[in-house]
A and B are shown apart, each in its own frame.
Chain A
Amino acid sequence: MSQALHPKTHSKPHLRIQDLNVWYETHHALRGISVEIPAYGITVIIGPSGCGKTTLLRSLNRLLEEREGIRIIGQVWFNGVNIYDHGVDVTDVRTRMGLLAPKPYPLPLSIYENVAYGRRIHGLDVLDKGNGRNLDLKVEHYLRTAGLWEEVKDRLWTPASALSTGQQQRLCLARALAVEPEVLLCDEPTSALDPISAQAIEEHLISLKENTTIILVTHLLRQARRLADYVIFLWMGELVECGTAKEFFENPKDSRTQAYLMGKIG
């Protein structure tokens, strides 16, 4: 039986992860994670390398299962539907959750077509198929949202690969936003960028959090402090502590969190 996701309603909490376990072959990468991710704002997943941050993030849009040797057991409730249920359309889940990867990978298309790609495959501008005017406006809108429009408006039809890495990452942001996702998954989106480009991405995330649930993976504690509204701390595949940013940074409860925040471990 096909189980459709509900229309876009932001009931709180937005995402509820329930007893999620992930294995890479025999390595138990995520151990019984249960956490609720609130709607809107920026939820930051922090922890040292190999603690399962990216694994957790990629389990949310089911991109994890594209890799070989993965076993996932558990539930992820999104708008009241467990996305791991049989009958849930994986492309539907991914359409609602945009992804910003560590290193930008533009599609082998022009700048314009990169932004238009998602809208085209989902037929979002199907009403004016004839002239494509609406699509033009949408492409411009999302390039502006990602702060790239002024730099590329005269060369929309040139290859996206010719852009700088910082510009490519903003293009990837525009491309993800163009599908109008409810959730934006960011996997260390600034790790390949110079400080100026990184700051630009951070500023965009802050301005987007009013209307989008942003889940950000980072290993930079400084970045987490700057951006987080809500924090999830992972350690060796286990969830150690989670809470609002204020609570987490000012009054950490677990000794491992305290040690991590003080720079003693990780």
Chain B
Amino acid sequence: MLTKRKFEEFFFQILMVISTIFVLGSLLLILGTVLWRGLPALNLAMLTQTPQGGYYLGKEGGILNAILGSLCLAGGATTVAVTLSLPIALYLRIYPVPHFTRDWIRLSLDILWGIPSIVYGAIGFTVMIFLGIRASLLGGIIVLSLLELPIMVRGMEEAINMVPKELLESSYALGATRFETAFKVVVRQTLPGLVTAILLAFGRGIGDAAAVLFTAGYTDNLPTSLLRPVASLPLAVFFQLGTPFPAVQDRAYAAALVLTVLVLGLSITSRLLSTRFIKNIIR
């Protein structure tokens, strides 16, 4: 007879399988759609040209402006975010921060993480108007870096938390300062984790449309100055999908495909690079 306990066990096994299938299915559906609709529309001109006259009506041109714009935006924002995140994460874990302070910093980061990106964009826009700055690459970088910051700090902190206390102590016991221990031992030991945190944040940054909508603007030109508007891939997808022409809509999927491949490519490259440093890690 099927007892209650056996039924529970059976029920949850089924549930787990269904959930897994659902997650994997969604991933395949997304990748499939992007490939199926985007790949036919993708050609060399899309990757090497900026939009020409009538591009959004289905005529000549490409999305080079958005590709380079997105790389500048997310690359710049990630650089800024790393510069801020690494010290915060190391501070929280390596330095003797009072519990109270640590908890508050963490809570603040979690709240920042939860704020929708359109709110970042809106606030960034308000501040920029107040300062008299136009939508620009610089504005986009600043707002995106704020968006990436909490993700990066929390990810790095998780990685640093895995470092055994004894390893830190063996460095201290040699007369090393916390700073030396942090940058010569902890960063090396946790490099794969740090890279993962950076990539996660980069992915979030390059894929976000709402934060750059007001702050970076959009342009058909290539990014040339920090103080001028730049295009971005998420907005390129958005604008092209919004047109009534199927040919342009397909180009939106091609742009999405480019975005996906960029993130994936970067992820794989960095992992390959970081394996060079993994060999010394103490397990």
Contact = CB atoms under 8 A, between A and B. Distances in A.
Interface stretch (A71-79, A94-102, A247-255): A94-102
B180 to A, nearest CB: 5
A107 B175 contact: no
B53 to A, nearest CB: 57
Contact of A61 (B166, B173, B189): B173
B101 interface: no
A66 B172 contact: yes
B126 to A, nearest CB: 42
B5 interface: no
Nearest to B175: A95
A18 B175 CA distance: 24
B185 A108 contact: yes
Interface string B174-195: 1111001000110011000000
Contacts of A99: 169-170, 173
Given A108-B185, A159-B280, A160-B280, A175 B169 contact: no
B173 A108 contact: no
Contacts of B165: 66-67
A108 B170 contact: no
B127 interface: no
Contact of A91 (B166, B167, B176, B184): B176
Interface in B140-184: 164-177, 180, 184
Contacts of B185: 107-108
A175 B173 CA distance: 10
Contacts of A4: none
Contacts of B282: 105-108, 160-161
B266 interface: no
Contacts, number: 86
A160 B280 CA distance: 7
Contacts of A101: 166, 169-170, 173
A118 interface: yes
B4 interface: no
Contacts of A91: 175-177
Contact of B174 (A66, A117, A160): A117
Interface residues of A, number: 32
B175 A94 contact: yes
Interface SS, B side: helix
Interface string B266-283: 000000000000011111
B280 A63 contact: no
A25 B280 CA distance: 36
B173 A98 contact: yes
Nearest to B283: A161
Given A106-B282, A121-B180, A66 B169 contact: yes
Interface string A80-113: 0000000000011011111101010111111000
B175 A172 contact: no
A135 B83 CA distance: 33
A217 to B, nearest CB: 14
B226 to A, nearest CB: 38
A122 interface: yes
Nearest to A161: B282
B279 A105 contact: no
Contacts of B280: 108-110, 159-161
Interface string B247-283: 0000000000000000000000000000000011111
A176 interface: yes
Nearest to A118: B174
Given A121-B180, A161-B281, A161-B283, A107 B170 contact: yes
A215 B125 CA distance: 64
12 contacts: A66-B172, A94-B174, A94-B175, A96-B175, A101-B173, A106-B170, A107-B282, A108-B185, A117-B176, A161-B281, A175-B174, A176-B173
Interface of B: 164-177, 180, 184-185, 188-189, 279-283
- Those 5 A-B pairs whose CB atoms lie nearest each other, nearest first: A95-B175, A99-B173, A118-B174, A108-B189, A94-B175
Given A95-B174, A106-B170, A172-B170, 11 more contacts: A67-B165, A91-B175, A91-B177, A92-B175, A99-B170, A99-B173, A105-B169, A107-B282, A108-B281, A159-B280, A160-B282
